[in-house]
Structure 1
Amino acid sequence: MIDLLFSGVAIVLLLAAGYWVRGRGGHRPTGTWAMAALLTSFALAFASYVSFVQSAVESVVPHVGRLLSNSFTLAAATAVLAFMLQLNLEPDEARRSIRLRVLFLGISVVGMAALFTAGQLNDQSPQLHALYVLVYITYLGVTAKDFGKQTWKQSNHSRRKSQRIGLRVTAAGCLFALLYAAYKVFGLVSIGLELGLLPHGVRCSTPISPFRCVFSVTAPALAVLLITVGLTLPAVVWPVSQFLRRRWESRSFAALAPLWEDISGATPEVVLASAGFPEERHADDSDFLLHRRVIEINDGGLALRPHRSQRVREDAERAVATRGLAGTPEGDAIVEAAILRAAVRAKKTGSEPQTEAAPPAPRTASRAGNLRSETEWLLLVAHAYAQGEVVRTPTDELAPSGTDPQA
């Protein structure tokens, strides 16, 4: 089971590294190669824990699997720092800081290799092993602390929700890494003082058995998974969110068509000229098309303002109140749709402007002036305009005598 866990984590990490390296639209975001190095290093570290991999490498050099996995883990920690440095610092300053970190990594790995070799030549000296662990855990612990602090701080300033969640998941992963580091320090004290609190040669059969495997296996596995998920989440969520956004824009554009057709038919001057908006360039741009439709509907509403009937508004408000919708967005939309339908008919039939135009819908001034909020409001109005019985009743009463109200 433990081999399955390590193999699965390694495969997931390699797939995540491939996703980061793969160019997305010809553009690779800042820190791409550092992220790929992080994920690949973690993958190799976990692969080195798999039994048949350990057996293969240790058949050449006994116990070298630990050195390999620890070295890959430190390389991953360095890549984490490189990623954050590239995001937070100017390019030249980031390159200088990364070179310094890589130098420290090299010194640490060489020192670990020297201590490992010396330990092999001295019958697995506990003191040399303690020094080996000291080098390893110092580098790892300091990196996990700094990275966790930095990601949590950055999460409070991120605008995108997926980034905030991802960075906080990453910070949680750093907590598990610190738990693992604390376990290693405990083991270091045990080895240095020859207390024998952590027996050597005991292998973990499951992630929680024996109990110390919770700290030696489960904690680092969770740390890597949470850091991987947290750092990869924004990159994965972004294309999904863009797909959902474009689908919503396309559906909203189609849903607004009946309302737009009537308003633009009564006020053709509000239709934006194609000269300023080349159709062939924006034919597949759902954001552009929806934005333009919303602008034209709103401009048409302004052009119809002289024909907004106060009587129609009052009749529609009474009908909405009888349905228990007074004061709700749906009720306001029904009233607005009734007023617009009457105004369109009045404009088309050449009726005289109203002496007292009906005011805009409640909370119009307080709505956020962005595309989504405007579209959501107009979708309510368009739905009521196309289907609401309350909309048609007061409107049809405005039909001039001798004409067909349904014409």
Structure 2
Amino acid sequence: MNIPTTIACLLWLVTLWRLPSIRHSHKQRSLALTLAALALAMTFEVPEIKAAINDHVPITGLPPLLKHLLGVASAAALLDFVIAVVRPQGLARRTRLAAIGVTLPLMLAFYALANWMPGGAVRVGEGKRAIYPVLYMAVFTLYIGVAMIVATWLFLGGTRHSRTVLGKAGLGLLGLGTMLGSLYALQRVVFVTVQLSRGAEYPELEDLLSTNLKQLAILSIALGVCLPPLSVAVEYVASWTSLRRLQPLWRQLTEAAPYVVLDASIAKRRVPFRLERCVIEIEDASLALREYVSAELHERARSFAQRSVVDDTDVDPIAEACWLSVAARIAPMGSQIRGVAHPPLGVTGRDRPSEIAWLRAVSRAYSSSPVVAEFSCQEEPSATALAASPERLSPRGN
């Protein structure tokens, strides 16, 4: 299988993969149109298809014309996509519509008037109509060049706003692809200019540069399109993993404080939303359970963890798990204690990713640390007595 055929097949696979997303938003439809136009354009470079069209259609240079028209359409759709992603407020929409509305008819008109050389490159012709191939290539190259330069500026500028590494890499590859597209347009201008000014032609070098820049640009764009959806999949798997790791802690705390659990049900497939709710309910349960123990218990838990020769980075989550374990045990039997300081929550003041990391560490300690189990058994009798003491007794809800 030759390179054009391979690239065309890869583009069709990516196009079919992204096809279901067209119902989601305008930008996804623009992206799907970009991929479909690129795939169809590369299909006209497959030697067998190109030969079949040339043999059965009595129009000189039809495959290059179709390829160029599709290239313009894909550039317009890609520009529309990047504007929707990076500049959702819009950017020169009327100008862009006018540009594509003028470019396509002019290309068709100049193509029809041109004196094309059979079997040759789409470039300068011969005779009195030799100017029209130049005008055709000028219109095509101008649109592609300007569109790719603007898209490169927007893609590379948008990388700093992406939240994920794969998202940044995807925008970077899309920017690289459009930059290569700009270089493709530039080299076409250079070779035509050299031919018109000096009469010199370098067909092998031109073909090498043109083909390589075009193929590298298309592959870079296709790969860049694939990375952002992969980042969504990576985030989904990470959310599912975190949810699974937090569920043991959630079960223990919400059994002791069941009133913090929300009534509304959530579909199992909505993993990120379920994780968000799990974190909120763990935090609410922790806030409720801290009312059953004192800050002195937390200090004893921290000292106990330090004496147990655990790693320094594990001291704080183990200490948190220790007092939570004691509080969860006594909450069903005792009442909230008043007039004392209560343990601080280690999750306070963190952003969501660090909150999840912290709660995962606490959950791991709560479920499997022998230090937590030993401390809980040691402190439960005295903590229960304190919570049940008449002078510290307070009705729940006051």
Give the TM-score normalised by the residue count of structure 2.
0.77
Quick check: 1:49 aligned with 2:56?
A: no
1:390 aligned to 2:371? yes
CA distance in 1, matches of 2:18, 2:175: 20
Report whether the alignment pairs 1:141 with 2:145: yes
Distance 1:355 1:78, change over 3 A: closer
Call closer, same or farther: CA 1:42–1:116 in 2, change over 3 Å.
Answer: farther
**1:317 lines up with 2:290 in the alignment:** no
Cα 1:145–1:289, aligned 2, differ >3 Å: closer, same or farther?
A: closer
Contact 2:317–2:358 (8 Å) recurs in 1: yes
Q: Contact 1:308–1:358 at 8 Å: present in 2 too?
A: yes
Partner letter of residue 107 of structure 1?
Answer: P
Instruction: Tell me, yes or no, if the aligned pair for 2:248 and 2:363 is still in contact at 8 Å.
Output: yes
2:207 aligned with 1:226, yes or no? no
Equivalent in 302, 313, 317 of residue 287 of structure 2: 302
Which structure dedicates a bigger proportion of its chain to helix? 2
**Which amino acid is 1:248 matched to?**
T
**Counterpart-to-counterpart distance in 2, 1:90 and 1:46:** 33
Candidates 291, 298, 322, aligned match of 1:338: 322
> In the superposition, relative to structure 1, how do residues 293 and 217 fare at CA in structure 2: closer, same or farther (>3 Å)?
closer
1:144/1:174 contact within 8 Å kept: yes
Q: Between the two proteins, what is the percent identity of the paired residues?
A: 24
Deviation by residue 1:238-258 (Cα, 9 ceiling, x = unmatched): 3x2464155235413533245
Q: Contact conserved, 2:302 with 2:315, CA < 8 A, in 1?
A: no
1:366 aligns with 2:362: no
Structure 2 runs not aligned, ≥5 long:
119-124, 385-398
In 1: Cα distance, 2:89 partner to 2:285 partner: 48
Q: Superposed, which structure 2 residues align to 1:173-252 within 5 Å?
A: 173-199=177-203, 202=204, 212-235=206-229, 237-238=231-232, 240-241=233-234, 243-245=236-238, 247-248=240-241, 250-252=243-245
> In 2, distance between residues paired with 1:318 and 1:231?
52
Structure 1 position 187, deviation (Å): 1.0
Letter in 2 for 1:395: S
Distance 2:66 2:99 in 1: 19
TM-score (norm 1): 0.76
Shift of 1:114: 3.3
Count of aligned pairs: 373
The aligned runs of 1:6-405 (5 Å cut-off) are 6-23=4-21, 27-59=23-55, 60-84=58-82, 88=87, 94=93, 96-117=94-115, 122=126, 129-159=133-163, 162-199=166-203, 202=204, 212-235=206-229, 237-238=231-232, 240-241=233-234, 243-245=236-238, 247-248=240-241, 250-257=243-250, 259-260=252-253, 264-265=255-256, 267-268=257-258, 270-272=259-261, 277-279=263-265, 285-287=270-272, 289-305=274-290, 306-308=292-294, 310=296, 313-314=299-300, 316-321=302-307, 323=309, 325-326=311-312, 328=313, 330-347=314-331, 350=334, 353=337, 357=341, 359-360=343-344, 364-368=347-351, 370=352, 372-398=353-379, 400=381
Report the Cα distance in structure 2 between the residues aligned to 1:352 and 1:20, rounded to whole angstroms.
55
Q: Counterparts of 2:64 and 2:88 in 1: how far apart (Å)?
A: 34
Choose 180-189 or 343-352, whichever is displaced more: 343-352
- Once residues 353 and 385 of structure 1 are traced to their aligned partners in structure 2, the CA distance between those partners, rounded to angstroms, is 23
Shift of 1:130: 3.9
Cα distance in structure 2, aligned partners of 1:8 and 1:337 = 56
Kept in 1, the 8 Å contact 2:61–2:116? The answer is no
Q: Check 1:167–1:282 CA distance in 2 against 1; reply closer, same or farther (3 A cut).
A: closer
- How many angstroms does 1:124 deviate by? 11
Q: Secondary structure at the match of 1:117?
A: coil
Residue identity in the other structure for 1:334: I
Structure 2 equivalent of residue 206 of structure 1: none
Moved more, 135-144 or 312-321: 312-321
8 Å CA contact 1:75–1:105 kept in 2: the answer is no
Q: Secondary structure at the match of 2:218?
A: helix
Q: Distance in 1 between matches of 2:90 and 2:137?
A: 34
1:222-251 deviation per Cα after TM superposition (whole angstroms, max 9, x unaligned): 11122233245334543x246415523541
CA distance in 2, matches of 1:140, 1:32: 21
Tell me how far 1:318 sits from its aligned partner: 4.6
Distance 1:318 1:399 in 2: 14
Hey, what's the Cα distance between the residues in 1 that align with 2:38 and 2:169? 22
